Amino acid sequence: MPPFLIDTHTHLDFDRYDNDRDEVIRRAAEAFVAGMLTIGVDYPSSLAAVRLAEEYEQIYAAVGVHPHDANAMDDEQFENLCRLLEHPQVVAVGEVGLDYHYDYSPRDVQRRVFRRFLDVAWEMQKPLIIHTREADEDMFSILREKSRSGWRGVFHCFSSDEAAARKVLDFGFHISFTGNITFKNSRSVPVMKNVPIEKMLVETDCPFMAPEPYRGRRNEPAYVVHVAGKIAKEKELSFDTVAQITTQNAIRLFNLPL
Protein backbone atom coordinates (compact mmCIF):
# COMPACT_ATOMS: atom_id res chain seq x y z
CA MET A 1 0.00 0.00 0.00
CA PRO A 2 1.39 3.46 -0.88
CA PRO A 3 2.03 5.87 2.02
CA PHE A 4 -0.70 8.28 2.99
CA LEU A 5 -0.65 12.04 2.47
CA ILE A 6 -2.33 14.85 4.39
CA ASP A 7 -3.60 17.90 2.53
CA THR A 8 -3.02 20.57 5.15
CA HIS A 9 -4.92 23.40 3.45
CA THR A 10 -8.26 23.11 1.66
CA HIS A 11 -11.42 25.18 1.31
CA LEU A 12 -13.85 22.32 0.80
CA ASP A 13 -16.67 24.42 2.25
CA PHE A 14 -16.63 26.71 -0.81
CA ASP A 15 -19.66 26.51 -3.07
CA ARG A 16 -17.55 25.26 -5.98
CA TYR A 17 -17.82 21.83 -4.30
CA ASP A 18 -21.53 21.91 -3.57
CA ASN A 19 -22.43 19.68 -6.52
CA ASP A 20 -19.83 16.95 -6.01
CA ARG A 21 -18.27 17.27 -2.54
CA ASP A 22 -18.76 13.56 -1.77
CA GLU A 23 -17.03 12.59 -5.01
CA VAL A 24 -14.13 14.96 -4.30
CA ILE A 25 -13.60 13.39 -0.89
CA ARG A 26 -13.89 9.90 -2.40
CA ARG A 27 -11.23 10.73 -5.00
CA ALA A 28 -8.98 11.99 -2.23
CA ALA A 29 -9.27 8.66 -0.43
CA GLU A 30 -8.53 6.80 -3.66
CA ALA A 31 -5.35 8.92 -3.98
CA PHE A 32 -4.35 7.85 -0.44
CA VAL A 33 -5.04 11.25 1.09
CA ALA A 34 -5.82 10.21 4.65
CA GLY A 35 -6.68 13.61 6.06
CA MET A 36 -7.66 17.10 4.97
CA LEU A 37 -7.74 20.38 6.86
CA THR A 38 -10.54 22.72 5.82
CA ILE A 39 -9.61 26.28 6.62
CA GLY A 40 -11.87 29.13 7.67
CA VAL A 41 -11.51 32.60 6.14
CA ASP A 42 -14.26 34.31 8.19
CA TYR A 43 -16.88 33.29 10.73
CA PRO A 44 -19.38 31.69 8.29
CA SER A 45 -16.68 29.66 6.52
CA SER A 46 -15.12 28.67 9.85
CA LEU A 47 -18.50 27.41 11.01
CA ALA A 48 -18.91 25.55 7.70
CA ALA A 49 -15.47 23.99 8.13
CA VAL A 50 -16.46 22.70 11.56
CA ARG A 51 -19.69 21.26 10.14
CA LEU A 52 -17.72 19.42 7.44
CA ALA A 53 -15.36 18.06 10.08
CA GLU A 54 -18.37 16.75 11.97
CA GLU A 55 -19.73 15.09 8.82
CA TYR A 56 -16.56 13.55 7.35
CA GLU A 57 -14.08 11.66 9.48
CA GLN A 58 -11.19 12.55 7.13
CA ILE A 59 -11.70 16.30 7.60
CA TYR A 60 -10.38 18.53 10.36
CA ALA A 61 -11.11 22.23 10.72
CA ALA A 62 -9.20 25.44 11.30
CA VAL A 63 -10.91 28.61 12.45
CA GLY A 64 -9.84 32.14 11.61
CA VAL A 65 -10.22 35.29 9.51
CA HIS A 66 -8.29 35.80 6.29
CA PRO A 67 -6.58 39.21 6.07
CA HIS A 68 -8.84 40.07 3.12
CA ASP A 69 -11.79 39.84 5.52
CA ALA A 70 -10.18 41.47 8.55
CA ASN A 71 -12.15 44.70 8.16
CA ALA A 72 -15.44 42.84 8.52
CA MET A 73 -14.55 41.19 11.84
CA ASP A 74 -16.18 42.73 14.91
CA ASP A 75 -15.93 41.75 18.57
CA GLU A 76 -18.99 39.51 18.39
CA GLN A 77 -17.55 37.53 15.49
CA PHE A 78 -14.22 37.24 17.27
CA GLU A 79 -15.92 35.85 20.37
CA ASN A 80 -17.88 33.38 18.25
CA LEU A 81 -14.67 32.25 16.55
CA CYS A 82 -13.01 31.76 19.93
CA ARG A 83 -15.89 29.53 20.98
CA LEU A 84 -15.51 27.52 17.77
CA LEU A 85 -11.85 26.96 18.62
CA GLU A 86 -12.97 24.82 21.55
CA HIS A 87 -14.58 22.28 19.21
CA PRO A 88 -12.69 18.96 19.30
CA GLN A 89 -12.39 18.82 15.49
CA VAL A 90 -10.72 22.24 15.32
CA VAL A 91 -6.98 21.67 15.19
CA ALA A 92 -5.60 25.13 14.34
CA VAL A 93 -6.14 28.88 14.22
CA GLY A 94 -6.26 29.98 10.62
CA GLU A 95 -6.03 31.19 8.22
CA VAL A 96 -4.78 34.45 9.62
CA GLY A 97 -2.06 36.89 8.64
CA LEU A 98 -1.27 39.82 6.37
CA ASP A 99 -1.87 40.39 2.66
CA TYR A 100 -0.56 43.63 1.19
CA HIS A 101 -0.99 42.58 -2.44
CA TYR A 102 -4.66 43.53 -2.74
CA ASP A 103 -5.19 45.51 0.47
CA TYR A 104 -8.84 44.47 0.62
CA SER A 105 -8.68 45.40 4.31
CA PRO A 106 -6.66 48.38 5.58
CA ARG A 107 -3.20 47.35 6.68
CA ASP A 108 -3.58 48.66 10.22
CA VAL A 109 -6.76 46.60 10.59
CA GLN A 110 -5.00 43.51 9.24
CA ARG A 111 -2.23 43.94 11.78
CA ARG A 112 -4.64 44.45 14.67
CA VAL A 113 -6.70 41.38 13.79
CA PHE A 114 -3.59 39.26 13.29
CA ARG A 115 -2.30 40.24 16.73
CA ARG A 116 -5.60 39.19 18.31
CA PHE A 117 -5.40 35.77 16.71
CA LEU A 118 -1.77 35.35 17.72
CA ASP A 119 -2.79 35.95 21.32
CA VAL A 120 -5.71 33.54 21.26
CA ALA A 121 -3.63 30.84 19.56
CA TRP A 122 -1.03 31.17 22.29
CA GLU A 123 -3.63 31.12 25.06
CA MET A 124 -5.37 28.05 23.64
CA GLN A 125 -2.12 26.35 22.58
CA LYS A 126 -3.33 25.88 19.02
CA PRO A 127 -0.97 25.93 16.04
CA LEU A 128 -1.29 28.78 13.55
CA ILE A 129 -1.95 28.63 9.82
CA ILE A 130 -0.46 31.86 8.51
CA HIS A 131 -1.15 33.62 5.23
CA THR A 132 1.36 36.27 4.20
CA ARG A 133 1.79 38.02 0.88
CA GLU A 134 4.09 40.97 0.22
CA ALA A 135 4.08 41.68 3.96
CA ASP A 136 7.18 39.93 5.27
CA GLU A 137 8.62 42.95 7.11
CA ASP A 138 5.48 43.59 9.15
CA MET A 139 4.86 39.87 9.62
CA PHE A 140 8.26 39.26 11.19
CA SER A 141 8.07 42.49 13.18
CA ILE A 142 4.81 41.39 14.80
CA LEU A 143 6.16 37.93 15.58
CA ARG A 144 9.25 39.50 17.18
CA GLU A 145 7.03 41.93 19.08
CA LYS A 146 5.18 39.01 20.65
CA SER A 147 8.62 37.61 21.60
CA ARG A 148 7.41 34.15 22.44
CA SER A 149 9.54 31.09 21.97
CA GLY A 150 8.03 27.88 20.74
CA TRP A 151 5.62 29.18 18.11
CA ARG A 152 3.76 26.30 16.46
CA GLY A 153 2.25 26.53 13.04
CA VAL A 154 2.82 26.79 9.33
CA PHE A 155 3.31 29.50 6.73
CA HIS A 156 1.01 28.15 4.05
CA CYS A 157 1.37 28.40 0.25
CA PHE A 158 4.82 29.85 0.76
CA SER A 159 5.88 32.29 -1.96
CA SER A 160 8.54 34.48 -0.33
CA ASP A 161 12.30 34.25 -0.84
CA GLU A 162 14.99 32.15 0.83
CA ALA A 163 15.85 34.82 3.39
CA ALA A 164 12.22 34.93 4.51
CA ALA A 165 12.10 31.13 4.65
CA ARG A 166 15.10 31.11 6.99
CA LYS A 167 13.35 33.58 9.30
CA VAL A 168 10.17 31.49 9.29
CA LEU A 169 12.19 28.43 10.29
CA ASP A 170 14.07 30.41 12.94
CA PHE A 171 10.74 31.32 14.54
CA GLY A 172 9.96 27.60 14.71
CA PHE A 173 7.27 27.42 12.05
CA HIS A 174 6.79 24.84 9.33
CA ILE A 175 6.56 25.83 5.67
CA SER A 176 3.97 24.46 3.25
CA PHE A 177 4.05 24.37 -0.53
CA THR A 178 1.23 23.96 -2.99
CA GLY A 179 0.71 23.54 -6.73
CA ASN A 180 2.71 26.67 -7.52
CA ILE A 181 5.94 24.66 -7.26
CA THR A 182 4.86 22.57 -10.26
CA PHE A 183 4.56 25.61 -12.55
CA LYS A 184 7.24 26.23 -15.15
CA ASN A 185 10.03 28.49 -13.86
CA SER A 186 8.44 28.68 -10.41
CA ARG A 187 10.48 30.94 -8.14
CA SER A 188 9.38 28.84 -5.18
CA VAL A 189 11.31 25.74 -6.27
CA PRO A 190 14.79 26.97 -5.22
CA VAL A 191 13.31 28.03 -1.88
CA MET A 192 11.60 24.68 -1.41
CA LYS A 193 14.82 22.79 -2.12
CA ASN A 194 16.46 24.51 0.85
CA VAL A 195 13.67 23.89 3.35
CA PRO A 196 14.37 20.78 5.46
CA ILE A 197 11.85 18.06 4.74
CA GLU A 198 11.39 17.73 8.52
CA LYS A 199 9.84 21.23 8.55
CA MET A 200 7.70 20.86 5.44
CA LEU A 201 4.00 20.24 4.82
CA VAL A 202 2.07 19.72 1.59
CA GLU A 203 -1.22 21.28 0.56
CA THR A 204 -3.49 22.08 -2.35
CA ASP A 205 -5.13 25.34 -1.19
CA CYS A 206 -8.03 24.03 -3.25
CA PRO A 207 -10.05 25.15 -5.13
CA PHE A 208 -7.13 27.43 -6.03
CA MET A 209 -3.57 26.74 -7.23
CA ALA A 210 -4.19 23.51 -9.15
CA PRO A 211 -0.85 21.87 -9.98
CA GLU A 212 0.32 20.80 -13.38
CA PRO A 213 -1.18 19.04 -15.30
CA TYR A 214 -4.45 20.51 -13.94
CA ARG A 215 -3.44 24.18 -13.90
CA GLY A 216 -6.40 26.46 -14.60
CA ARG A 217 -8.96 23.93 -13.38
CA ARG A 218 -10.64 23.59 -10.02
CA ASN A 219 -8.17 22.08 -7.58
CA GLU A 220 -8.98 19.25 -5.15
CA PRO A 221 -7.20 17.26 -2.42
CA ALA A 222 -6.40 14.28 -4.66
CA TYR A 223 -4.00 16.52 -6.57
CA VAL A 224 -1.72 16.94 -3.55
CA VAL A 225 0.16 13.90 -4.88
CA HIS A 226 1.59 16.16 -7.60
CA VAL A 227 2.95 18.56 -4.99
CA ALA A 228 4.59 15.73 -3.08
CA GLY A 229 5.94 14.31 -6.32
CA LYS A 230 7.56 17.62 -7.28
CA ILE A 231 9.19 17.90 -3.87
CA ALA A 232 10.52 14.36 -4.19
CA LYS A 233 11.96 15.08 -7.63
CA GLU A 234 13.64 18.36 -6.70
CA LYS A 235 15.01 17.16 -3.36
CA GLU A 236 16.11 13.83 -4.87
CA LEU A 237 14.06 11.81 -2.40
CA SER A 238 11.63 8.98 -2.99
CA PHE A 239 7.94 9.82 -3.14
CA ASP A 240 7.37 7.47 -0.21
CA THR A 241 9.90 9.35 1.91
CA VAL A 242 8.27 12.71 1.20
CA ALA A 243 4.81 11.31 1.91
CA GLN A 244 5.84 9.62 5.15
CA ILE A 245 7.75 12.58 6.57
CA THR A 246 5.27 15.30 5.62
CA THR A 247 2.41 13.19 6.96
CA GLN A 248 4.17 12.70 10.28
CA ASN A 249 4.96 16.41 10.39
CA ALA A 250 1.26 17.22 9.98
CA ILE A 251 0.16 14.64 12.54
CA ARG A 252 2.54 16.06 15.15
CA LEU A 253 1.88 19.72 14.40
CA PHE A 254 -1.91 19.48 14.42
CA ASN A 255 -2.16 16.58 16.91
CA LEU A 256 -4.21 14.55 14.44
CA PRO A 257 -5.61 11.20 15.65
CA LEU A 258 -4.25 9.21 12.70
Domain segments of the chain as ranges: 5-254
Is residue 150 over pLDDT 90? no
Q: What per-residue string of b and e applies to 141-156 under the rule 16 or more CB within 10 Å gives b?
A: ebbeeeeeeebbbbbb
Residue among 219, 169, 161 at smallest CA distance from 188: 161
Cα 79 → chain centroid: 22
Nearest 10 degrees: CA dihedral of 84, 89, 92, 96?
-50
Tell me, which fold does domain 5-254 have in CATH? TIM Barrel (3.20.20)
What confidence tens digit (pLDDT) does each residue in 73-96 have? 999 999 999 999 999 999 999 999
pTM over 0.85: yes
What confidence tens digit (pLDDT) does each residue in 159-188 have? 999 999 999 999 999 999 999 999 999 999
What confidence tens digit (pLDDT) does each residue in 208-225 have? 999 999 999 999 999 999
Query: Distance between CA 220 and CA 77 in Å, rounded?
Result: 29
Other beta carbons within 10 angstroms of residue 107's beta carbon come to 15
**3 band by pLDDT with thresholds 50, 70 and 90:** confident
